[in-house]
Chains A and B, each alone.
Chain A
Amino acid sequence: MTGYILKRLAIALPTIFIIITASFFLTRLAPGGPFDAEIDLDPYVKANLEQIYGLDKPIPVQYINYLKGLAKGEFGPSTTYPDRSVGELIADGLPVTLKLGLTAIALAAGLGIIAGITAARNQNTLLDATVMGFASIGIALPNFVVAPTLTLVFGIYLKWLPVAGWGDGEFRNWVLPVIALALPQIAAIARIMRGAMLETLSADYIRTARAKGMPETRVIIRHALQAAFLPVMSYLGPAIAAVLTGSVIVEQLFSLPGVGRFFVQGAISRDYSLVLGVVILFATALILINLAVDIAYGWLDPRARVK
């Protein structure tokens, strides 16, 4: 097991480093910088600005400086928000994004697993067809269609919930964003869970458990769920990636002060440090999550360790 964890770490850590390096050079090699906006700046002013932000130095020097900053947890200054550093912006936005994302993932896992088991237990009935029909619609509909539709129904026609804004982060402000983020993942997890459950339920040991007269609920919870949960767990990495991506859109749509919103602002105004900071943060988080999922998988299923 230790060897397995070390092997996974040996893959994950260089990956993070490669991503930092690659995205740094990608943004620096780009034509046009943050100060090539609509207004033509006086060359002296521009040179001054570039000096302040360290953009006048050779790119390898900028790279070393950037790495030094990262080691201290600094992502450099933001050119879009001149009085704030990228680190501060991310620290501001992260609680919002985390709250949205974690709630959405928890909701998706909970409802998705229940829906998947229900469909599998009632295979080829009307209930199964209904659940899976909703699942294919849920997978096909992107966030930016689901979210405005929810707003239209619950915000504008029924007036139950606010249309946008975060307020002080009250429940009513983040219900709709969380549902919009979670729906496609509920659908995806329900599908995976149903498939895994059907496969497990036809296994010999389930037949044995039933044959010895074990109650059905106990068969499902004690025996089937453990094995059927593995595919759902390995989907968690992609699910979290999808929720992070979705949060960029949902934050924009509901005007929520999260990291994704800063990211889009940064991309529109070519704020290198801001875009770079968010990409590095999210990529690192995803790689570490995938690492954790891999390790958990190896722990739950010893067969995975051999490969």
Chain B
Amino acid sequence: MNAQIAPTISMSVWAQARRRFLANRAAVVGLILLTIITLLAIFIPLVWPHSLDEGSLANLGQAPSFADFHWFGTDANGRDLFVRVFYGARISLAIGLIATLIALTIGVIYGATAGYAGGTTDLIMMRIVDVLYALPLLFLIIVLVTILGNNIFLIFAAIGAVEWLTVARIVRGQTISIKNREYIEAARAIDLPTSRIIRRYIIPNAIGPVIVYATLLIPINIIVESSLSFLGLGVQEPLTSWGLLINQGASQLDSAPWVLAFPATLLAVTMLSFNYVGDGLRDALDPRQR
């Protein structure tokens, strides 16, 4: 009996979290699928015999077949869909990740500052968040894209600049709950500058729930990017993304349904995987919330 319990007691917090995560089958499957999709997105465009924009009149709208390496068929311009879907994956995943990083950076700094400052500063800063919260975010992003032009880097920035609100709220709450702990008091007692206290002591201790939220924010941002591209306001030809591919698929539903089916399925699988991984992480890192 004791022999079984002993290793559990000596396990670190992270080891316990990992064990809880691995016990969640949906989350593990999600993580494996995401890894596979990421690896395919990195390597398929490098090794595939067809390239992103190599079209041919002979192959217009070919159905999927194993001949000629058109596994997912070709689109209305005779371009190989298999390689395009994974080029699209590169851009969609990259925008999801980078926009999330931008949103996290803004949100963490903003939330920690508001929470640590307290009083009127906190009130004003969080009122601004409330105001923005009331807006439909996609509209705001479309306004930003209209203004900035649809350069792909500006799309990263526009999405990130809008999606930080929830992060700020989470971090503010965490900050308020830890700012009166003894170690913060000790840091103040030795007269550390506020910016250093926030950077070295507040943020690292408030980051747990933010990591969980980040796994949920990535799929949200992928959807935002895809919506923009779908509407013709995001990624533009000759580049491609899942939203743009789904748009092209939707316009030729009756003649070539596979042009819609493959990117849509891949997007759906990615969304579900991120959601299950996010749920798994939440349960693993914070078992009280179950």
Measured CB to CB, the residues of A under 8 A from B are: 11, 15, 18-19, 23, 26-27, 29-32, 136-137, 139-142, 144-145, 147-149, 151-152, 155-156, 163, 237, 241-242, 244-245, 248-249, 252-253, 263-264, 267-268, 270, 275, 278-279, 282-283, 286-287, 290
Contact = CB atoms under 8 A, between A and B. Distances in A.
B257 A152 contact: yes
A252 B243 CA distance: 14
B275 interface: yes
A142 B231 contact: no
A249 B233 CA distance: 12
B136 A264 contact: no
A156 B254 contact: yes
B52 to A, nearest CB: 22
Interface in B105-150: 127, 130-131, 134-140, 142-149
B33 to A, nearest CB: 13
B282 to A, nearest CB: 14
Given A144-B227, A264-B232, A149 B264 contact: yes
Given A29-B147, A263-B142, A264-B233, 17 more contacts: A23-B143, A31-B149, A32-B149, A136-B272, A144-B227, A145-B264, A145-B267, A148-B249, A148-B253, A149-B260, A242-B136, A248-B231, A249-B227, A267-B145, A267-B146, A270-B146, A287-B134
A-B pairs with lowest CB-CB distance, top 4: A30-B147, A140-B271, A148-B250, A245-B138
Interface in B219-270: 219, 223, 226-227, 230-233, 243, 246-247, 249-250, 253-254, 257, 260, 264, 267-268
Interface residues of B, number: 41
Contacts of A263: 139, 142
Interface of B: 127, 130-131, 134-140, 142-149, 219, 223, 226-227, 230-233, 243, 246-247, 249-250, 253-254, 257, 260, 264, 267-268, 271-272, 275
Contacts of A241: 135-136
A155 B250 CA distance: 12
B136 A144 contact: no
A144 B147 contact: no
Given A249-B227, A264-B232, A140 B275 contact: yes
A283 B138 CA distance: 12
Contact of A279 (B143, B230, B233, B254): B143
Contacts of B275: 136, 139-140
Given A144-B246, A241-B136, A290-B134, A30 B268 contact: no
A244 B136 contact: yes
A20 B175 CA distance: 32
A142 B145 contact: no
A144 B139 CA distance: 16
Contacts of A268: 232-233
Contacts of B146: 27, 30, 267, 270, 275
A283 B137 CA distance: 10
B227 A137 contact: no
Nearest to A148: B250
A114 to B, nearest CB: 24
Nearest to A14: B131
A21 B160 CA distance: 22
21 contacts: A27-B147, A30-B147, A31-B147, A31-B149, A136-B272, A142-B226, A144-B226, A145-B264, A149-B260, A151-B253, A152-B253, A155-B253, A163-B253, A241-B136, A249-B230, A249-B231, A264-B232, A264-B233, A267-B142, A270-B146, A283-B139
A4 to B, nearest CB: 17
Contact of B272 (A27, A137, A149): A137
Nearest to A136: B275
